[in-house]
Amino acid sequence: MQIFGFLGSLLGYALWAAFYVFHNFGLAIIVFTIVIKAVLFPFSVKQQKSMAGNARMAKKQKELQEKYGNNRQLYQEELNKLYEKEGFKPMGGCVTMIIPMLVLFGVFYAVAYPLTNTLHLNADNVNQAVNYMSTIPGYVTSANPNYQQIALMKIFPYIVNTETIQGLFSAADVQQIHELSTGFDLFGFNLLNVPSDFGFWSWYLIFPVLCFLSNVGSQFIMTKVNSNAMGQQQGCMKWMMYLLPLFSAYIAYSVPCALAFYWIISAVISLVQSIVLAKIFGPAQMTANSEARHAALLFENEAKVPYVYAPRAVAQSNDNPSAKKKKKK
């Protein structure tokens, strides 16, 4: 948890910078997501190449299965040789999928702990302010301990002038907290709210629904443009392709809407990115490039072979008596 908290603190700087420019956390998340996608773009390219490589290797793997199907050990040895020859890593795409998940956890810790991870206020002062909430008459403390700082931000305008709060935070800190707490409104929704707190049939259900639909759309496009590769998906990649949309909807229902909104924007950008990358690094393009490289390599090797000129063969044919007779005739 400390690792994710540290990651959330780092990402919190980027979120606060975007919020400082736009004064709206929804817009800040959109800009933040675009920047994150740009930074992770090389990993997305690697993942797409891995998927295209699966499609390219499918035919050769099938030939090896037919040839060595009865000898599992020999088949695996020949398969490893094929992977080494082609420079193909069957599990290479799994690592590239872990990194976005780490970013997602980092965003959660930046959103769930906005005072310490986004504004980077003194943790001891924040904890004292959270403890002060439980002493307010009539206030019911949130059951989820992860969202105590969010609860503090929600009631902050009502307690900002109390002696306790004034003693814990400077005027600059109070101003930052006030700006951030009033910047989570997006299309009438408060991005600090958790959909599960409002029941299954509230309007906040739109966040897990959109999270599910956007991720299904993204996975469907990836499956469609890499149809040959998906049949050969290995291990974690294959399972995550189908479980991620359901997982995203479940998580979006039980976390602040800001995190769900980030996941939605990320899925939409991934959908567009998948279409573009599939056209550049699709199975057909990767196969054509591979064949072109092999052809160029053969041509280069043939060019290195020295040409041997044999003039004596010509001379011997001229000295051959039978050749002369034939020439006279």
* Whether the predicted pLDDT of 232 surpasses 50: no
Higher-pLDDT residue of 95, 265: 265
Alpha-helix residue ranges (DSSP H) falling in 87-230? 92-112, 123-133, 148-159, 163-168, 171-181, 206-225, 227-230
303 within domain boundaries? no
Buried b (16+ CB within 10 A) or exposed e, 290-312: beeeeeeeeeeeeeeeeeeeeee
d(CA 271, CA 274): 5
d(CA 247, CA 211): 10
Q: pTM (2 decimals)?
A: 0.73
Q: What percent of the chain has pLDDT over 70?
A: 68
Average pLDDT over residues 2-25: 90
The structure tokens listed for 63 are 């030939």
Domain count for the chain: 1
277 within domain boundaries? yes
Full domain range(s) for residue 230: 2-55+91-283
* Whether the predicted pLDDT of 26 surpasses 50: yes
The structure tokens listed for 79 are 């398969």
Buried b (16+ CB within 10 A) or exposed e, 97-114: beebeebbbbbbbbbbbb
240 within domain boundaries? yes
The predicted structure's pLDDT at residue 329: 47
The predicted structure's pLDDT at residue 238: 57
* Whether the predicted pLDDT of 31 surpasses 90: yes
What confidence tens digit (pLDDT) does each residue in 135-165 have?
888 777 666 778 999 999 988 988 888 888 9
Distances in Å between the Cα of 118 and the Cα atoms of 20, 29, 123, 186, 270 are: 11, 13, 12, 19, 25
The predicted structure's pLDDT at residue 80: 74
253 within domain boundaries? yes
289 within domain boundaries? no
325 within domain boundaries? no
Of how many residues is the chain composed?
329
d(CA 17, CA 35): 12
230 bridge partner residues: none
Q: Which of 300, 241, 235, 294 is nearest to 92 (CA)?
A: 235
Rounded mean pLDDT of the chain?
78
In this prediction, residue 321 has a pLDDT band, given cuts at 50, 70 and 90, of low
75 within domain boundaries? no
